Structure 1
Amino acid sequence: MPNRRAVTGRSREPRRRFAQELRQLRSSHKVTLRQLSDRLGWDYSLFAKMEKGETLGGPEVVEALDAFYGTPGLLLALWELALSDKTQFKEQYRRYMQLESEAVSLWHYAVSVLPGLLQTREYARELLSLGGLIGTELEAQIEARLSRRTILDDPDAPPFRAILSEAVLRSPMADAMGWQAQLSHLLEFEPQGNVTIQVLPFSAGLYRLVSTDIWFLRLPQGATIAYAENAARGELIEHSATVESLQRS
């Protein structure tokens, strides 16, 4: 009779398993978050958020943790599994939506499509349809996207700055009338003092965020967080040094 595998009680969900392993290793090594920060050089708040599953951190910090704990490759392997887990996209995006509603200022750099806060119903419908959504699921996603625009209509609406790659305006909808309506909708924001729309022309040349959409939110307590998204995945970024680096891009 084959030996039965021991039950560890640890999560099979990659992101939670990664966070659990981080907590267990730090506990077994009897070090505090601040001591870990002193040893490895990253702010202790980053390690706290990694252990809570709020962020995955980057490969450099994960490799440093592997070296510190004497677990060569273990944490990096768990990190890669968590990073590739597509179910985490929705979880992080939901958290981003919550933070967006609380933000005191927002700005968005868009590389290929208009920011959701600036989209018309027709634009949102065509865009979401391209992702394969149909029927009631499509309608629900459209309503969810349009409901976000209310944060710009409030009398105390936060300032919102959108920087659009020229490619965004060079990629029209299939519906010509719908595209005209979308462009007219953008012009309606001109007299709205809290909304600024700028265009980065092709003539600006190459730049670091050439393939990444990114949002920056300034929260009431003063911290700034980022949400980066490309064709493969999205990631909520709360580590201050990483956010500052992206802002300089």
Structure 2
Amino acid sequence: MGDGGGTSSRGVVGRTFLSAREWYARELASRRRQSGLTLVELAKLCLYEQSYLHRLERGQRLGTVEAAAALDRVYGTGDLLVRLWHLARRETKDRLLPGIEPLEREAVSIQEYAVAAVPDLLQTRAYAREQLQTAHVGEERLAAEVSGRIDRQERLTGRDPLHYRALIDEAVLRRGARDPKTWAGQLEHLVEAAQRPGVCVQVVPFGSGPHPIRACLELVYFRDAPTVAYTQGSWSGHLTEDPEEVEPLRLAYDVLRDTALTPAESLAFLRALREEQAAPGPSQGPES
């Protein structure tokens, strides 16, 4: 049976729906082609980085409404691009994403708050395996996910390492791991990582009191693009690059950082935990 020449949803032969974000990206690329401008020329006219504009046209970033308005002015399109931007934002605002790995590869700096487990970028292979086993996946998938998590840590030690700050809630360090050897190895790794250039580890002690960040948070900074925020719960994550959403999270992170132990105090805390873990008998960790 034919499709009758109409538009249909994805999966019907020959036809697909474009998302609002895809329409926005295509419109940006089309308007630039019609104008005859190169990306370099466009960047000079609208005062945005060439690489940033390229990502907008590829649909890799939604960008800001200010960027859409600037492009409207360059192309003389009234408020067309701004209206398309709002449609795309409304469509994707609550979209759940599986992870933030692609953005980590482009980042120059990451600030993270870990409330449930040691941050992915600081996990040992054994600890990562124990954490991922809680999802009850098959052995083949488990091995692949563990390897993928460890591979992401190349961003901390590779040729162009990013600057990384991790705020780790004391609850994570009190919880530890099921296997004492796994936890001993993880503590040793945290002590080592906290002394690397470009890596800052701070403990958020119980005594710091309540704060507004209720989930794991990652703030990802780029050289030529706006900051994005990624919040993650038990089963899903949410990514936003809307400044109205990112800025309150960034400010909340700064406030939380100010209540955390200093890097030197945090290193001493981790070393004390490591020593108590190695001592015979039950361990409750150092007093905070």
Shorter-chain TM-score category?
Answer: 0.5 to 0.7
Residue equivalent to 2:37: none
CA deviations 1:17-64 (Å, max 9, x no partner) are 5657999xxxxxxxxxxxxxxxxxxxxxxxxx8xx6967x9xxxxxxx
Q: TM-score normalised to the size of structure 1?
A: 0.67
Are 2:244 and 1:241 equivalent residues in the alignment? yes
8 Å contact kept, 1:162–1:198: yes
2:201 to 197, 201, 207: 197
- Report the Cα offset of residue 248 of structure 1: 1.1
8 Å contact kept, 1:216–1:224: yes
For residues 123-134 of structure 1, what are the structure 2 equivalents within 5 Å? Answer: 123-134=127-138
Give the gaps of 5 or more residues in structure 2: 12-16, 26-55, 65-82, 253-288
In 1, Cα distance between equivalents of 2:105 and 2:5? 44
1:170 to 166, 174, 177: 174
CA deviations 1:196-229 (Å, max 9, x no partner) are 000111122221112x111111112042111111
DSSP 3-state at the match of 1:142? helix
Name the amino acid aligned to 1:120: T
For residues 153-232 of structure 1, what are the structure 2 equivalents within 5 Å? Answer: 153-210=157-214, 212-232=215-235
- Report the Cα offset of residue 233 of structure 1: 2.0
In 2, Cα distance between equivalents of 1:181 and 1:158? 24
Give the gaps of 5 or more residues in structure 1: 24-48, 58-68, 70-74
- Report the Cα offset of residue 178 of structure 1: 0.8
DSSP 3-state at the match of 1:122? helix
In 2, Cα distance between equivalents of 1:176 and 1:104? 35
Residue equivalent to 1:108: 112
In 2, Cα distance between equivalents of 1:208 and 1:244? 14
Name the amino acid aligned to 1:190: A
In 2, Cα distance between equivalents of 1:135 and 1:232? 20
Residue equivalent to 1:38: none
RMSD: 3.8
CA deviations 1:169-208 (Å, max 9, x no partner) are 1111110011011001100123311110001111222211
8 Å contact kept, 1:107–1:160: yes
DSSP 3-state at the match of 1:167? helix
Residue equivalent to 1:9: 8
In 2, Cα distance between equivalents of 1:184 and 1:134? 29
Bigger shift: 138-147 or 196-205? 196-205
Distance verdict in 2 for CA 1:231–1:18, change over 3 Å: farther
For residues 61-76 of structure 1, what are the structure 2 equivalents within 5 Å? Answer: none
8 Å contact kept, 1:109–1:213: yes
Residue equivalent to 2:144: 140
**Structure whose CA Rg is larger:** 2
